[in-house]
A and B are shown apart, each in its own frame.
Chain A
Amino acid sequence: ETGVTQTPRHLVMGMTNKKSLKCEQHLGHNAMYWYKQSAKKPLELMFVYSLEERVENNSVPSRFSPECPNSSHLFLHLHTLQPEDSALYLCASSHSGQGWSEKLFFGSGTQLSVL
C-alpha cells in the first residue's frame, strides 16, 4: 500500500461516454500527477498539479480534463475518448515547492478500455 488510492481499478467505456478517474493520497504531499502507460511504451506525463495549481500540461487532448480540488484529491474527467486512449492511467504524488522531491509514489492505476 503506497498511500495513493485510485478508483476504479478497471473501466470500460464507449466513445460517447463521460467518466471520471479518481485519485486520493494520504501522504501529506502537495503535488499530484497523471501519467498514461500504453503497452510497450514509456510512461507519458499528462498533467502536474502543485498546491492545486496546474504546472504542467503535456499537450494532452482536451477530451482529458484534470481537476485538483485540494492537495489530496485529483480527478481525470474523460469524454468522447478514442480507442487509442485505452491504457493504464497512473496517479502519483510527491512533495513540491522548495526542494521539490522527484520521488514519486504511484497508485495502482486504472486500466481503461475504450470500445
Chain B
Amino acid sequence: RKEVEQDPGPFNVPEGATVAFNCTYSNSASQSFFWYRQDCRKEPKLLMSVYSSGNEDGRFTAQLNRASQYISLLIRDSKLSDSATYLCVVNGGSSNTGKLIFGQGTTLQVKP
C-alpha cells in the first residue's frame, strides 16, 4: 500500500464547478497534513495546511478524518487558473522530523 494515495485524475471540470479531491494515508502516527499545488513544469507550492477541525481559505476547504486516515480538498467556483496538480502531503511520523511524504498528485483541468 502506498504511504499517500491519490487519484491521479485528470479531473476535467467547467469554470464555476465545485470539485473535490481525496487522499488517504497509511501511517496512523502522522500529525501534519498539507495540500501543495504544482503547476506544469514548476515547483510545488504550499496551498494550505489541513487542521483537525477543518479549515477554509477563500474558495478552498480542507478536511481531515483521522479515524479513516483521509484528507480532502474542496474547490468551489473553479477558475481557469486553478488548473494544476494538487499534491497531498503527510508528515512521516509522530514527531517533527522534516520527513514529508508526497502523494502522486491529482491533476485538475478547468475548461472555459
Contact = CB atoms under 8 A, between A and B. Distances in A.
Interface residues of A, number: 26
B45 A56 contact: no
Contact of B99 (A56, A103, A109): A56
Interface range on chain B (Cβ under 8 Å from partner): 20 to 34
Contacts of A48: 97-99
Interface string A1-21: 010000000000000000000
B42 interface: yes
Nearest first, the 4 A-B pairs at minimum CB distance are A100-B96, A106-B43, A43-B102, A42-B102
A88 to B, nearest CB: 9
A75 to B, nearest CB: 18
Nearest to A48: B98
Given A41-B104, A42-B104, A107 B99 contact: no
A45 B100 contact: yes
Contact of A102 (B4, B43, B91, B103): B91
20 contacts: A2-B45, A33-B98, A35-B102, A40-B8, A40-B104, A42-B2, A42-B4, A42-B87, A42-B104, A42-B105, A45-B101, A48-B99, A56-B98, A56-B99, A90-B43, A102-B98, A104-B44, A104-B100, A105-B46, A108-B42
